[in-house]
Structure 1
């Protein structure tokens, strides 16, 4: 590999460093034998910096632990209290040691022990632990050497078996030199396991399944760019769709010990290849992920079982309209939605029936001919249009118009009546009924807030937003009727207007919705777009119409919804919206 290409690769992804070009600091500590959290127990530090088999530097010093060294430690290491008394304390050693560790991979035998002492010492004396990548030669030996070769993975056993130049003797620097020899010997054996990079070596030490290790080549060659990745089976079926700001790095995690989900293990076992779709920026990647899941319903995406399902509450187009739970918003006077499930839609309907005298019978009623009376009319809970006690105009003023007002403007006609009913139930200590009513009110209010938020942007023919990216360029999105029509990134040095006009040439044509706020896209897509647009750093470049919500609309009741979701019934009914 050319040297410049190697440098670029290292800068791009540290875990992709070839082991030959990785700088290691091989470290060993001697201690008083206690816990790293008890006191400053380090008595000696030894470290050797190496790269490509060549030694680059050494660091060695005794350390005054501020306490007597136990006799059994002196017998083991030969370090006495008299030897460490004139030595510097650990707080004086840390600055030089941390500088020696800078930008290197820390290697130690039983690394958690040594690293634990250093992290505790840094925390105790106000130094920031640099959190370097760590490679444990003991863990590496457990993976490389089988039990038939060595009875245990002690440093002395490994050094003897591998016939290293240096042998450990429980002194920090000599043990560090022996660990260097063991590290090089183990790296020499990693090639047969197809472990060639730093990331591979670190993951090789962990509990990775054989399938994950066998399939990790699927991540090779993927781009370090934002976008969507698709795991495909041998017959090219999409198995799983995901998104990331760095496709290559994210896909690689599926083949590491960090991935413990059973369904992902099953998916990896079936997967034959990974396809990458590079996107202009994160928003486009999120939208493409949603569209691919909806189009292909990959079996290992949880939300893909029924991605097309949406439910609406519709006010029917009749002389005496009623509420109907339907799959499409059109064909009625006013619609509320979309709901993710029929149960939530029905809860909102029940809330409206509790607050408004909407008829609940399903019979077709004539404004001129009486029909059979239902039980609700006899109980006085319906204005009885079936008996022509009200004409269509009166019925509209009593029931249909307040519903339409609550959905498209101020939801007070429903909310105020339900809040009053909640107080009555609480005062009567009918807490179970109050809790059920609170749930219905929350379902209604949540849907209205969501719909008004979506409607505000879906009525706009074209909206252009832009925000700075991490490299100083501009992420640009063209949104038409709540749907992402085009996305592009204007790199540093290119005028954003030029990139915007380029995106317009290929932007999707989006026709306005006939009914409802989101038929041009899924609600999830429009909400992802709204989240992006509403960030403080996003600038509105162009808007073809006013982007506004109703005065006194549902958004003002977000605090009430939060209380409905989180507080007890007793607190809710005693607070006004």
Structure 2
């Protein structure tokens, strides 16, 4: 099966893909919101990617990992490129790695970004990729649950807004808990409901600029709360293995980051130990990506 034909077997899911030449050398690694559409585009009009024309002619095999979110695909691409840059890749990635901090302390209450994972006296979440998305998500969190208006010292304008919303120091614990529940996934729906209602009110009032801004906050909040397991703060080391139709896929996780991805043809018995040692939370991920690998090679 040609590489172009195997591209049609990719799922319409987010993920990471890489191209190999006939000698098995990795030519290029990229990420996609829709794997099939993105990879098939290399055999169409390349437009601003015309410099890749010579590379496309050398593609002999496509390999791919299907991810559970675009955010997860972005992290996986970054990790793999940092581990090794293929010849046709130009950079390791441009998104900023960032954390979101929820501060419940009286003098500094609020939600903010941090570029370091130091959370003394505060609650930290992340890491996330994309400083702009993180700040938009924080804007949405503030719109839904304005924790910063419960600080001990507010400006006159802030006091007026807080009073109009019935918010004060006694609201601090409740609002901090709501923001934390939104970011840890316990109750992300509350933020989505608040922002959706605010967006619809703005649109009904013909304030389309505000409605668009809130829609961006909704998208950013979805980004930071989507499934993302390939980069975990404080994570450990482990190998994740899946097998399907005579083909094994192994992922190397070091320090909480998935940094290696290999696949090889072998019998099930050859990876029995690796499969048995795969943590339950990774088993489905490994299985479906082994099935994808087999589909791309076997046809």
Specify the TM-score bucket, using the shorter chain as the normaliser: 0.5 to 0.7
Structure 2 gaps of 5+ residues are: 3-20, 31-44, 56-62, 66-72, 293-299
Determine the C-alpha separation between the residues in 2 that align with 1:293 and 1:413: 36
- Structure 1 residue aligned with 2:8: none
- Structure 2 residue aligned with 1:353: 142
Contact residue 359 and residue 382 of structure 1 kept, 8 A: no
Aligned with 2:155 (options 348, 356, 373): 373
Q: What TM-score, normalized by structure 1, do the two folds share?
A: 0.33
Matches within 5 A, 1:105-504: 224-225=23-24, 227-229=25-27, 242=29, 261=49, 263=51, 290-291=78-79, 293-294=81-82, 301-304=89-92, 306=94, 309-316=96-103, 318-319=105-106, 320-331=108-119, 333-359=122-148, 371=153, 373-380=155-162, 389-391=168-170, 394-397=171-174, 399-408=175-184, 409-451=186-228, 462=238, 464-468=240-244, 472-477=246-251, 479=253, 481-483=256-258, 489=264, 491-492=266-267, 495-497=270-272, 500=274
Distance 1:496 1:316, change over 3 A: same
Higher relative contact order (CA 8 A, sep 6+): 2
Distance 1:380 1:299, change over 3 A: farther
Distance 1:487 1:331, change over 3 A: same
Distance 1:303 1:339, change over 3 A: farther
User: Deviation string for 1:487-521 (max 9, x for gaps)?
Assistant: 564624854326x39xx9xxxxxxxxxxxxxxxxx
Equivalent position SS for 1:328: coil
- Kindly state the Cα deviation for residue 375 of structure 1 after the two structures are TM-superposed: 1.8
- The CA RMSD over aligned residues, in Å, is 5.0
- Kindly state the Cα deviation for residue 447 of structure 1 after the two structures are TM-superposed: 1.6
- Structure 2 residue aligned with 1:71: none
Contact residue 383 and residue 390 of structure 1 kept, 8 A: no
- Kindly state the Cα deviation for residue 318 of structure 1 after the two structures are TM-superposed: 3.0
Determine the C-alpha separation between the residues in 1 that align with 2:119 and 2:248: 42
Distance 1:423 1:289, change over 3 A: closer
Equivalent position SS for 2:105: coil
Equivalent position SS for 2:223: helix
Determine the C-alpha separation between the residues in 2 that align with 1:328 and 1:296: 24
- Kindly state the Cα deviation for residue 444 of structure 1 after the two structures are TM-superposed: 0.9
Distance 1:450 1:465, change over 3 A: same
Q: What TM-score, normalized by structure 2, do the two folds share?
A: 0.57
Distance 1:463 1:356, change over 3 A: same
Distance 1:431 1:305, change over 3 A: closer
Determine the C-alpha separation between the residues in 2 that align with 1:484 and 1:446: 21
Equivalent position SS for 1:331: coil
Distance 1:531 1:432, change over 3 A: farther
Determine the C-alpha separation between the residues in 1 that align with 2:251 and 2:46: 33
Equivalent position SS for 1:380: helix
Contact residue 316 and residue 331 of structure 1 kept, 8 A: no
Determine the C-alpha separation between the residues in 2 that align with 1:304 and 1:467: 29
Distance 1:299 1:495, change over 3 A: closer
User: Deviation string for 1:222-263 (max 9, x for gaps)?
Assistant: 8633x535xxxxxxxxxxx559xxxxxxxxxxxxxx999554
Distance 1:436 1:533, change over 3 A: farther
Distance 1:465 1:351, change over 3 A: same
- Kindly state the Cα deviation for residue 403 of structure 1 after the two structures are TM-superposed: 0.4
Determine the C-alpha separation between the residues in 2 that align with 1:476 and 1:424: 49
Equivalent position SS for 2:124: strand
Determine the C-alpha separation between the residues in 2 that align with 1:487 and 1:476: 5
Determine the C-alpha separation between the residues in 1 that align with 2:166 and 2:268: 70
Determine the C-alpha separation between the residues in 2 that align with 1:449 and 1:288: 14
Equivalent position SS for 1:359: helix
- Kindly state the Cα deviation for residue 434 of structure 1 after the two structures are TM-superposed: 1.6
Bigger radius of gyration = 1
